[in-house]
Amino acid sequence: MDTKNTLPSTPGKLKPEKYYPPYNIHRIRLSKLTLYSSIFLAFIIFFFILSPPSPSPSSLRTHNPWGGPDWEKRVTKSARRSSASSLTVLVTGASGFVGTHVSLALKRRGDGVIGLDNFNRYYDPNLKRARQKVLSRAGVFVVEGFVSLLEASKSANPQPAIVYASSSSVYGLNSKVPFSEKDRTDQPASLYAATKKAGEEIAHAYNHIYGLSVTGLRFFTVYGPWGRPDMAYFFFTKDILKGKQITVFESPDGGSVARDFTYIDDIVKGCLGALDTAKRSTGVDGKKKGNAQYRIFNLGNTAPVPVTELVNILEKLLNVKVKRKVMPMPRNGDVKFTHANISRAQKELGYMPTTDLEGGLKKFVRWYLDFYSPLKNKSVW
């Protein structure tokens, strides 16, 4: 993709030409609203059941919408826990960037994991299929299909606790830095941000009405191996290696555009911390029996880096002279910087990022060359 012709609306993301306007969700019934909300909530929304019994073949046979003894066997094996104190976790968007890393981390520590993914074409599905193979080798089975998670969760017995992915984009036009969970989030600067905020509000409504335990995680510009091709660090790397010119934005006043780049392993630690500290939901048979836990956390690196420095690091790691074109930031929903206040996550989740941008990009570049150009890898590393 030539970034000269397709400009991202933010330095971190390359937006698709098509999107789903938020007004569509007001025209549909509640059951469909929750289906769309599960899409809006993240590329990775996931929920887990605290210490439930592993699913038995007989129960799967009763409720199995896909069917077949081989399917049942794979699901049962994937959901098997190493001990009674371990979790059984359903990870949606399991073949996505963060979903893959979280699934692997859960499986490594002995939790039962079942993945769910629809393998949409938002970006190259071949990369998602490659992640699926990695998960399969680790013992994680990924099922294809949609499910209305919040609707299913409210009526489950016992109700699961829910941990879902949101985004730093919800801070929108907020100018107070670093961004705190207490700051206002009612001024989205893009449609993408508006859908993320809508997801948070829908999750809050299910917490309030049905007693679902809910934790939202606001990710700040996640990067690393197996990442998303629509992110700047990813397509910069691709275009630099092809000798193409890349577009680097500066703020309208000529200042630097900066992002709180957060390495994937640090994000995973935050996700697991949220899972491990989540309390049980309080609803029974779809009815709230008491106040349930509701939490929002920032997961960032709390060290914003100018995008120009990101390019400089890639130039050094790839050993290729970068052809760059500096342009004013487009006025279509962009923000100049992101900066996370992570004090709440530090206190309640034990979250502490440890990877700086250069160290993380070095790991990403090594993976990128292995995955896309394995024979040329030796010439660089």
The residues annotated as belonging to the active site are 192
Distance between CA atoms of residues 4 and 26, nearest Å: 36
Return the DSSP state at 181. T
Work out the number of other CB atoms within 10 angstroms of the CB of residue 325. 11
Distance between CA atoms of residues 59 and 72, nearest Å: 10
Work out the number of other CB atoms within 10 angstroms of the CB of residue 43. 20
The structure tokens listed for 29 are 């019934």
Contacts of 212 (CB under 8 A, 6+ apart): 150, 153, 154, 159, 160, 161, 162, 206, 281, 283, 292
Work out the number of other CB atoms within 10 angstroms of the CB of residue 300. 30
In Å, how far from its chain's centre is CA 122? 14
**For residue 125, what are the CA distances in angstroms to 14, 157, 228, 294?**
16, 35, 11, 34
For residues 332-347, one letter each, b for 16 or more C-beta atoms within 10 angstroms of the residue's C-beta and e for the rest, the string is ebbbbbbbbbbebbbe
Cα angle vertex 42, ends 87, 187, to 5°? 130
Whole-number CA gyration radius for the chain: 21
> At what angle are helices 307-318 and 357-372 packed, to 10 degrees?
50
Q: Burial level of 378, CB count in 10 A (0-12/13-18/19+)?
A: exposed
Q: Burial level of 286, CB count in 10 A (0-12/13-18/19+)?
A: middle
